[in-house]
Amino acid sequence: MNAKERLLTAIQGQVPDRLPVTTHHVMPYFTERYMGGMSTEAFFDHFGLDPICWINPYKADDARGDYLDPDYEEAFLSFRRVFSDDWRITSESVPNQEYDTTRHRFVTPKGTLTMVTQSNAYTTWATEHLIKEKGDIDLIGEYVTSPVCDVVAVNQEADDYGQRGLVRGFVPTFDVFGQPGCWQDAACLVGIERLIMATYDDPAWVHALLATLRDRKIRFLKTTVGARFDIMELGGGDASSTVISPRLLDDFVAPYDSAVIAAAHEAGQRIAYHTCGGMMPLLERIADMGPDAMETFTPPAMGGDTDLAEAKRRIGDRVCMIGGWDQFHYFSGCTEQETRDEVRRCFEAAGQGGGYILCPSDHFFDADPALIMAWADEARHCVYG
């Protein structure tokens, strides 16, 4: 099999020729610090991994009078925002801060919302969340724009990538700072502690916010008909069992994300549901939402809770499992043989019967290239008899 066939076979719950092995986003920090600044495609080739091409070409809805952000500058994991006369975003640097700090203003006819984000070499976080007052969601509900999928651009990327690997996209996040899942998007806008408290203090307000975010995502997905994504990502870490309870997932996550997944399927798209954190108490609940794949199956040694063999037993016949790899402890500070042994352990735990893709549990930054090479090589030798 070629890489695309191998990955798709696993996503469809079937048995490929060997264990597929890939990674989540290839982080610029790692390639610049350890690999001489090589490109993502060169990274996949160098280590012999099954490649993934991450894309999300957006268009503006001309019929609504929307237009693309004219000042967009391409950056890692950034997407071109869609503006209108009633929804514009300006950004300015805040000087003399410990971290790179940016203030964003969301300008509408009835008021301006603000958000402050900070970044370091690893990630970005919000120090001032966009939603401060309950009425702020009314401005979002009335004026927020929705991107439109550029189907022609997606299909051109798919043609260019060919059989090289998987073409993967995102369900849209909120502008500037967000996550694909409805609950996770809301957590970025409100702050997870405030959002959890609001589910007790004013659940109707939380439901109204989640419905607004859901509807925006569904509007986008309806425009993906005919776009040849192999899979799209939904979810995020704020719906993990290390953050919320099963009851909160039942009440505030599943009703909204299951509707998004249904809309994706209606448009002919597959969904990978991303849960970086604890998963074991939620496995069946997430599978019940109907995704085609689930990730990241983070091990206990990384702060998660996944028992790969138990997860495989419980949901392995329902969804493809992606992840399970402890990149903290087997990409550094160990021997190549220990890394190879851990590959075999993952394969024995979750690989049997297919439907499993070996992948780090989300991103990695500092790693020993020799151990990554051993990891990839051992995975390529995990074949199905």
**Domain containing residue 19: CATH number:** 3.20.20.210
Per DSSP, the three-state class of 59 is strand
Which stretch of DSSP H or E encloses residue 118? strand 111-119
The dihedral sign for the CA sequence 350, 354, 358, 363: negative
- Burial of residue 96 (number of CB atoms within 10 Å: 0-12, 13-18, 19+): exposed
Q: How many Cα atoms within 13 Å fall on the side-chain side of residue 110?
A: 10
Residue type, 47: F
Give the range of the structural domain holding residue 258, as residue numbers without chain letter: 3-58+133-380
Q: pLDDT tens across 52-97, in order?
A: 999 999 999 989 999 999 888 777 677 889 999 999 999 999 999 9
Backbone angles phi, psi at 121, to 5 degrees: -70, -15
Report whether 78 contacts 56 (CB < 8 A).
no
Which pLDDT does position 204 carry in this prediction? 98
Which pLDDT does position 71 carry in this prediction? 85
Q: Give domain status of residue 64, yes or no.
A: no
Q: What percent of the chain has pLDDT over 90?
A: 96
Q: Give domain status of residue 89, yes or no.
A: no
Q: pLDDT tens across 199-213, in order?
A: 999 999 999 999 999
Q: What is the dihedral of CA 279, 382, 270, 172, to 10 degrees?
A: 60
DSSP-derived pairing of the beta strands 111-119 and 124-128:
antiparallel
End-to-end CA distance of the chain: 15
Q: pLDDT tens across 248-273, in order?
A: 999 999 999 999 999 999 999 999 99
Q: Residue 322's closest CA among 374, 270, 366?
A: 270
Q: pLDDT tens across 225-253, in order?
A: 999 999 999 999 999 999 999 999 999 99
Domain count within the chain: 1
Q: Give domain status of residue 88, yes or no.
A: no
Per DSSP, the three-state class of 105 is strand
Q: Is the pLDDT of residue 343 over 90?
A: yes
* Longest alpha-carbon distance in the chain: 64
Which pLDDT does position 356 carry in this prediction? 98
Report whether 35 contacts 46 (CB < 8 A).
yes
Q: Give domain status of residue 281, yes or no.
A: yes
Q: Residue 234's closest CA among 196, 263, 195, 275?
A: 275
Backbone angles phi, psi at 267, to 5 degrees: -85, 0
Mean pLDDT calculated for residue range 92-121: 96
Mean pLDDT calculated for residue range 151-172: 97
Helix intervals (H) in the chain:
3-11, 28-34, 40-47, 136-143, 151-161, 182-190, 192-201, 203-222, 246-248, 254-266, 283-288, 308-315, 327-330, 336-346, 369-380
Q: What is the DSSP string of 292-314?
A: SEEEE---GGGT----HHHHHHH
Cis bond before residue 306 (omega within 30° of 0): no
Q: Give domain status of residue 319, yes or no.
A: yes
The dihedral sign for the CA sequence 298, 304, 309, 310: negative
Which pLDDT does position 78 carry in this prediction? 75
Q: How far apart are CA 239 and CA 187, in angstroms?
A: 9
Q: pLDDT tens across 357-379, in order?
A: 999 998 999 999 999 999 999 99
Please give the mean pLDDT across all residues of the chain: 96
Q: pLDDT tens across 127-161, in order?
A: 999 999 999 999 999 999 999 999 999 999 999 99
Report whether 321 contacts 361 (CB < 8 A).
no
Q: Give domain status of residue 358, yes or no.
A: yes
What would you report as the CA-atom Rg of the chain, rounded to the nearest whole angstrom?
Answer: 21
Confidence of residue 385 (pLDDT cuts 50, 70, 90): confident
Q: Give domain status of residue 370, yes or no.
A: yes
Token representation of residue 263: 């809309």
Cis bond before residue 296 (omega within 30° of 0): yes
Q: Give domain status of residue 167, yes or no.
A: yes
